[in-house]
Amino acid sequence: MLKNVAALLLDDVHPFELGVLCEVFGLDRSDEGLPVHDFAVVSAEGPLLRTHAGFSVSAPCDLDRLEEADLIAVPSGSHYMDRTYPEEALAALRRAVERGARVLSVCSGAFVLGAAGLLDGRRCTTHWRHSDELARRFPLARVEPDVLYVDEGPIVTSAGTAAGIDAALHLVRQAHGPAVANTLARRMVVPPHRDGGQAQYIQRPLPRTRCDTVGETLAWMERHLDEEMTVEQLADRTHMSPRTFARRFQQETGTTPYRWLLRQRVLLAQHLLETSDETMDTIAGQTGFGNAAALRHQFVRALGTTPNAYRRTFRGPSALTEAA
C-alpha cells in the first residue's frame, strides 16, 4: 500500500519538481473520492532550504520522518551532478529500500540515488542532458537515456519535469488502480498514462568534431535524406572501399551509416511534424521513408510513439493528420 510519502529536499531544489510531488501526493482530494496520503517535506540540510528560483522553502521534518515512509521521492536540484550529499540522508535512503519502501527520483534527483548506491546494477534514467554524466559517475548503473521513466523494483527514476508526473502517476496506478490514477490525471489536466519506455522528446544531432574523413559525406547525406543511398555509393563519394568507409564511419561517428541515416531521418520527421501540416505520406517521402507505414514503423521504433501522437503532443488535436 502507498499511504505514507516523504519528499526529501536538499539545497537548491527545483520548485517545479517539488510541486509535482506535492500535487500528486500532497493534496487532500478525498471529496473527489481519491485516497489521501500522509505527505511530508523532509530536509537533509536544515529547516530552511534554498531553491534555484531564488526563494527559500521551509521543511519542517528532519530525516527521522523517512523511517516511516512507504515512498521517498527526491526532486531535482541545481548542481546535483557534481556535489556531495549528507551521508545521513544517503543512509536513510538505503535503510528505506532494505525495509521494503520505494524510492522515486525526478530528473537530477537520480544523482542522489546513485550516491546512495541504489542505482548499482539497476536500469535507471534521468534528463537526457545529464544521462552521460550519470553513467560516468555511477558506472555500475545501467542508464537508459531516452526513456521517460524506469521502474526497477523498489527504485523508480524519471527524466525531466513532466516525466516526473508520469512516474508519480505510474506509482499511484500501481498502488490504487487505474481509476484513481485516471481521475487524478484528469484533475491535473495531464495525460492519464504515458508508458515509461516512450522516448524523451530530444534533439541530439551527432557532433562532428571527430569526423575528419567522412565530414563532407555527412553533410551531403543530410542534404539528401529523401534519397536512397547505399554504403557502396557513400564509399564511392569518399573515394574509399565500402569496407574501409564503414570502418572509418564507425570510428568517427560512433555508429553505422544506416543507424546515422535513420536517426537523421527521424529528426527531420520530428521537425516536419512539429512545424508543418503535410500529410504522413508527404513527410515520409521528404524523409526517405517512402510511405506512411514505413515512417510509422521506424518512428515507433526510435521514439516509442506514433507520428500522429507526436504531432498531437506538440501541436494539439487540430493539427492531427491521419496516415494513410
Task: Please identify every residue annotated as catalytic.
Answer: 107
DSSP state of 76: -
Dihedral sign computed on CA atoms, order 190, 132, 120, 15: negative
Separation CA 9–CA 18 (nearest Å): 8
Backbone torsions φ then ψ of 110, nearest 5 degrees: -60, -30
Q: Pairing state of beta strands 4-9 and 38-43?
A: parallel
Helix, strand, coil share (%) of the chain residues, nearest 5: 45, 15, 40
C-alpha cell at 324: 494513410
Which whole-number Å values give the CA distances from 235 to 219, 229, 238, 248, 264, in the listed order?
Answer: 14, 10, 5, 10, 19
Dihedral sign computed on CA atoms, order 230, 232, 236, 239: positive
Separation CA 110–CA 119 (nearest Å): 8
* Amino acid at site 7: A
Residue 275's SS3 state is: helix
* Amino acid at site 200: Q
Which whole-number Å values give the CA distances from 110 to 119, 221, 253, 270, 296, in the listed order?
Answer: 8, 37, 29, 28, 32
